[in-house]
Structure 1
Amino acid sequence: MFTSKIYQFFLLVLFSTVTVLALHYQKSKLDTVGSLAISQYQQSIKEIKTWEGTGKALYKELSTHNLIRFFQYIDPQNSDNNYTSGQILSKEKHLLSYFLPDNFGMTSSIKPGRLQVKLELGTERQKILNETKILLIALVVMYFTAAIVAYICFRDKKLLIKFLAEIINDIPNSKNLHHIRLPRNYQPIIESVNNCRNLIASKFDLIIQENEKLNRNVFVDDITKLKSRQKFSHYLTSIRDEVKPVFGCMIFLRASELSSINHERGRTSGDQYLIKIANILTEVTKKHPDSDHFRISSAEFAVVLPNLSFNDSKKLLESLKATLDEYQQTLKAQSAGHVGLIPYKSGSQPSSLVAMADTAISIAQTLGPNAYHATKELNSDEQIGDNRWKITIQNILKRRTLTFYQQPIQSCRNNTKSIFYQELLTRFSNREGKALPTAAVIAMAERHGLIIELDKMIIENVLKLVKHNPKLNSTYGINISAASALQPSFIAWMKDLFKQHPKLASKIILEIKETGMQTNVLAAANFVDQAHKIGARVSIESFGTGFTAFKFFKDIRPDFVKLDSSFTREIESDEENKFFVKMMVDIARRINVPVIATSIESQSEKQELEKLLVDGLQGFYISTPKKLMPS
């Protein structure tokens, strides 16, 4: 219960408290005896109101019935009558006198003088002192007895605990502990320790198995079953730290259409796309058994080809492109992937290798679907890749040639299958007419400060298409960058443009990602307000990944919100997603803002979202994107 030091302190405090209480009790007894003596003395002088004799005679008179230790009578009229006898303080030098003082007396007036008396308690006080002395001796004996006994007990406990600790430390050893001798009462401990040792051994085996399983989960990608980014990072580090000369090449593949497939067809289709890319890489490199395959990010893969020269590695790229071209036909997408090839050797810095790979893929993306590019040096190709993208985007702006696909957003209101609006998906191509990855074009346009011009061109092309094709009478959603929407110059341009086409403004819905609007809420609110003034509407997409819905609705006031696709996935069983969607629908309906669910992939997801009362549905299950054909 207590450690020995704490217990000894507790014992000291306890006995000190008992001693103080005992002295207080004995003092109260002494006070009672003193009060009786004073009462008897007061009775003696009660009848003496005037004294005409000497003080000595008065002393004899009062001493007859009282024990007086000190007597003093002073007659102010006749000093011959004055008389003093005894001492005020007791002659006794007993230690207990400090705790049980003998100081009982009083001062009174007896005409014509003044009388002061200190009474002696006699045998009664001595009896109380003796009782107190015996009591204190008994307490001291009890204290030291208890302290010694406690010390002995705690010492034995400490020895036993130390002995048991040695036994427990010996648990991992394979030998049993029956040879250890303990008192009979403690023998069950030996049995328990042996049982514990056996149990720990079995649990340790389970831990090893679980640890191996966790390592597989950390270092193996769940979807493609290839090695993970962590494993690839370790590989790059080992190349950098390798002392012996090593060399080889690395193939990097970017699944350029992953974002579009996830958005338009759903994440299940996106996962199937990634699995197919992983299988293609494995198949193309199967003649090189030393090759290692990795998924290093959501849309990027790497293949390490040890001891293979740069020229020999380039021969694989044609085979890889042919396989990707074939898969593209089945995928029905603009591209299956873009490939970059780089060499490596011992001492190569991981950051340099990654930069070379990014440059090679960036150049490949400008060359058309499933293109590849091999980069042997970092500096020159890095600059070429960066400039190539800028030139490519400038060429897009110059040619002003775009292709649009439309995907409908189906209304859930009143059990109808009417269309809220058609989202337009923009597709870009290079000067040779080969498709470029949309996400890469947008990212590079933002990087080179060309995004505003690109967004302007997209809006102008849509207005031109709708104006010259009367049969295109739907409402159309156009994706624009938040970097454009938050710029005052872009807003001014937009107002001037729609003043020239006032009848078309009501057919346009500008779609902007929530995370982009979050960077400047005031500017975002101004954009929505200005769009409303010219008759256009605004939809916020990928909603739920940024700031809270309450602040968003209060400050931004959009016309539509499109939930991020992550809230749709497995919504039949994901209670958190259900709660979020229901909350958003409740909030939005109070201010009449339709909520649209995206990336619907199955009938079960559609039915669950309809139960949650979303206003609109979009996804591959509802309708696949179709090319917008002018009439």
Structure 2
Amino acid sequence: MRETRPFGQALLLAGIIFLLLSLLLPWWASYRFLLHQDQLIDRHFPLLVTSENHTALLPGMAELSIGHPLAADNQAWWFGRAAANHQRLLEQTPVFYRLETRAATMQWMLLSLPLSLACLLVFGGLYLRWRRENNDKEQHYRALLLDPEAGQLSVRDPVEQGILGLHQSHRHELETLQQQLTEAHQQGHQDSLTALGNRYAFRRDLGLMLTDDNKLATATLLIVRASALQDTNTRLGFQAGDQYLQDIVRLIRKVIQPVLGARAYRISGTDIAVLIKGQCEPLAQSLGTQLRQDLTHYQHLHELDCAAYMGFTQLLPGQSPEQVLIRADIALAQAQGGEPNGWRIVLKHQGDEDLGESQWRQRLQTMLAEDRIQLMVQPAQIRKPGMPGYNEIYSHFPNDNDGYYPTTTVFAMLQRLDLSMLFEQKIIEMTLRQIVEKNMPAQRWALNLTPASLQQNSFLIWLERLLLRDTNITSNLVFELDEHVLEHQLVAGKRLLEMIRRCGARSAVSKFGHGYGSFRLLKEVKPDYIKLDAQLVKHLEEDSTNQQFVRMIVDLAQRLGCHVIAEGVETGEQKRVLESMHVDGVQGYLIAKPSDLASFRGLAF
């Protein structure tokens, strides 16, 4: 549109020029006419000398005066000096005259007025037509800017071509931006390392499942925690850590691929969540078992203490995302308190378990600060004369309702909130204080160590310093570790047990006898005590194969100098069979139930 403005300006300039020419050219002709009259008067001026009447006017004169100047008035000022007073000498006498200008003025007016009017009409009409066409074009261009379909593309109209080209460029840029926005939206809901959905996509899909109109629809949430990521990053570098995490994701994808509609997300640095439609328990059984096998194989292949842990929970429409995530966290934390690569499932709504992390952290810190931990003891009955008594210490956690928090939940949340070491230190310190107060040198006191103790070098240093303070008390302590924990963390377990022996304390392997791998572990660790798993004792009197297996364990253990104590003894028949196998002691509800350590005075026979 700007290109049309110089044309309009040129049209106005041409109109002004032609208008000026229509005035100036007739004026110039009339002016030349006056000059011609003056020449004629100058040619005929000698006639005045011979004329008898010297005042007679020559043709072309308007006034004449001899000897006296005429008035200075110039009524035809537009002709300049040509219409002013003229002077001649007649026989030494000055003669003054003025030209006749009426005819020249009339000639000028008769010529200039029609030309000026014609110029105004022609150029005014052209200008108005140009303005009308220009306004139409401007409106057309404005409509074209708003709607490219309103234009009729003309090869001769560069402005219209430019506008349509601008629309095409704008459309292309818009499509590019839309594509970039789509990619950014996808990337905004996708984890860059694993190509899984991120936590935003997870919360979106979780919310959709929980607000499903189908009230009978059920779904399952699985969270897999890549527990070795931090250690891998520290020992081998972040590149190895990224590869480890991608390997875990690959195993998860392999397991969930046959499950229709299963979607995986990376919701934190170490946590991979999977949303699956269907009942939780059968899915947990199938997926958890298969994934545990793959993780265990990966653990042994890469020489890890543990590859990952798994937690399952059920989703039902109407629940809040926070409730579901808390239960999944609790299930995951319980799995971390058990064997490596294990899985747990939490389905029910329980008031204590539905507490959020911040509430649990506050309660646990209050327990720690106020020593709100109750120590319980369950003694074993020792058959060998002269052998010190064996008393296992348990921890209970009182709540504000004159009851107790579930022990498994507490230990799971301690693991989840990274408070295990602080509580383990507190329990050991409280146990030692009460043992000193009791002054029972003929008794040994067994304390259970959690898997977290094997993973904390600072805890091992602290425990060693504590045990070296009083060797008399230390010599009466026995530290128990579960067989499955030692089996999967053998190097760390042996380091812990060697430190315990070096300080003068003793060690025990609890829940012993899961298979023939137990014999290899017995040879590797050589503990002071082994405690037969309660599952071996449960149907011992009826299962001859189980009896033979237990006899082999007792025989090998005693040959290696280990004392054998059977856990979970609840019937007299079980006790009789075990005694016939020459076990060193029996422990269970048949012998004694757990009681408060503060009031314990020894096992009564």
- Scaled by the length of structure 2, the TM-score of the pair is 0.42
- Quick check: which has more Rg, 1 or 2? 2
